[in-house]
Structure 1
Amino acid sequence: MSDLSAALLRVPLFRELNREELLRLERISSIRHYGKKTIIFNEGAEREAVFFVLRGLVKTFKTDENGHEQLMNILKTGDLFPQTGFFDDAPYPATAETIGDSRLLSIPVRPFEQLILDVPGIAIKLMRVMSSRIINLQERLHSFTGHDAAERVVLFLLKLAEDYGKPDEQDAVRIPIPLTNQELANAVGTTRETVNRLVSGLRKEGLLLTDKTGFRIPDKENLFIRVHKEEH
């Protein structure tokens, strides 16, 4: 089995495709390697390809008129971006940049559209999987509703720990994503000053450690309890 075949098989979106459909898809796909902090595409550029993360992490963000970045998403292995995928011919909705060295699966939009015309069953299978992803996204957005800024930051950190965390030798959870306080603020819709105060408080309580490589949560349960106390 080639590296490309193995890569396609690891993508959740293609889990319902049969062998022949996967072979057709393989013919138009490629694997690309990107170094740390490399722009994959810019917001507003013509959509030429859709990407899947095979290894590494990718962040997507928008830039406002003052040049401030608003973090939209952090993508891990198996994730698709842009998330509107193949069924939207609008320009790229955000800029995508690697957080560390990354390996991506690239599928060009126009050849894929022709493949759909030739084998329409592929579109039906993809839409089934994408509908479940939309439901999951709605549930994630709903979980943030009704919380104040401090609670949203903590819930966001817990979500990062769930999706990207790695246990260390002391049973703490390491999140290897070097986000700044401004990026945290943008991600949950608050100010950098608010995040500065909260992160400082969490450090003093021993609930969060930070450095240039990311975050470390000594005890996820205690961090969750802190949010629960705030709610009451």
Structure 2
Amino acid sequence: MLESDDPYRHYLRQLPEFCDFTEDEYARLTQDLTVKTYPKGQVLFDHGDARQRFYFVIKGVVRLERLDETGNFSFINYVKSVKGFPYRGLYTDKDYPYTATALTAITIASVPMASFEAIVALNPRVTRQVISQMSQLLDRMENRLQKLVTSSATSRVIQALIIFGTDMGEQTPAGDVLIPYPITLIELARLSGTTRETAGQVVTKLEVAGKLSYNKKRFRFDPQNLTF
């Protein structure tokens, strides 16, 4: 559903990814701004589609997924609210490198990719910020692959929970992490490369051990304490 973009121009302007643009640059960037809401499960674009727009999540979570050439290994990343994507492929790729799907109901803003790339190149402060974002993304991906490449399904499920906490979690006053979005056991199994039954068994064991709570599909745990 298309929404009026006027209230969002001011909102986006205050955020770190947009505040360093000059007034003229920001006006040019948002000239073709669109803001839409989508239900859970909506595909924004598929792997291989023309790379036409840069997206920014205002509300909700987007899943980014890509299969390897064999179709057996799935690379998954999550983008939560107040984050933009895709940074991968800026200035080089003509197509999207993965499929983007609404993990929850989302509100999302987008601008033409050509405009984003052209205007970012004009502003050194914004360019540095984009490079920083890409560097952080690469670092997270390398760490993630190292932790998920293990033969132990239990370890993969625990690491997937920690990834959820890193990508989507919010620190609570008690010091643990709450994931304020509904996450199904199927999604947990998908990220950890195991079955729903195995993911459910690990979650149940962690709950019994008092190291995790899973209420109304929302996880809460201390990432440092997710062990048996």
TM norm structure 2: 0.75
**Displacement of 1:49 after TM fit?**
0.9
Query: What is the rounded CA distance, in whole Å, between the counterparts of 1:226 and 1:112 in structure 2?
Result: 40
Instruction: Tell me, yes or no, if structure 1 residue 131 matches structure 2 residue 135.
Output: no
- Which structure has more helix as a fraction of its residues? 1
Query: What is the rounded CA distance, in whole Å, between the counterparts of 2:75 and 2:106 in structure 1?
Result: 19
Q: For residue 40 of structure 1, give the secondary structure of its aligned residue in structure 2.
A: strand
Assess if the C-alpha contact under 8 Å between 1:57 and 1:76 holds in 2.
yes
**Displacement of 1:56 after TM fit?**
1.3
**Displacement of 1:134 after TM fit?**
2.9
Unaligned runs of 5+ in 1: none
Give the RMSD, CA atoms, in angstroms. 3.5
Instruction: Tell me, yes or no, if structure 1 residue 58 matches structure 2 residue 62.
Output: yes
Q: 1:36 aligns with which of 31, 40, 44?
A: 40
Q: Which amino acid aligns with 1:35?
A: P
Instruction: Tell me, yes or no, if structure 1 residue 89 matches structure 2 residue 130.
Output: no
Residue of structure 1 equivalent to 2:17 = 13
Query: What is the rounded CA distance, in whole Å, between the counterparts of 1:6 and 1:136 in structure 2?
Result: 27
**Displacement of 1:168 after TM fit?**
7.7
% identical aligned pairs: 26
Residue of structure 2 equivalent to 1:215 = 218
Assess if the C-alpha contact under 8 Å between 1:33 and 1:103 holds in 2.
yes
Query: What is the rounded CA distance, in whole Å, between the counterparts of 2:163 and 2:187 in structure 1?
Result: 15
**Corresponding pairs, count:** 219
Query: What is the rounded CA distance, in whole Å, between the counterparts of 1:30 and 1:143 in structure 2?
Result: 34
Instruction: Tell me, yes or no, if structure 1 residue 160 matches structure 2 residue 160.
Output: no
Q: Which amino acid aligns with 2:194?
A: T
Unaligned runs of 5+ in 2: none
Q: Which amino acid aligns with 1:40?
A: L
**Displacement of 1:195 after TM fit?**
3.4
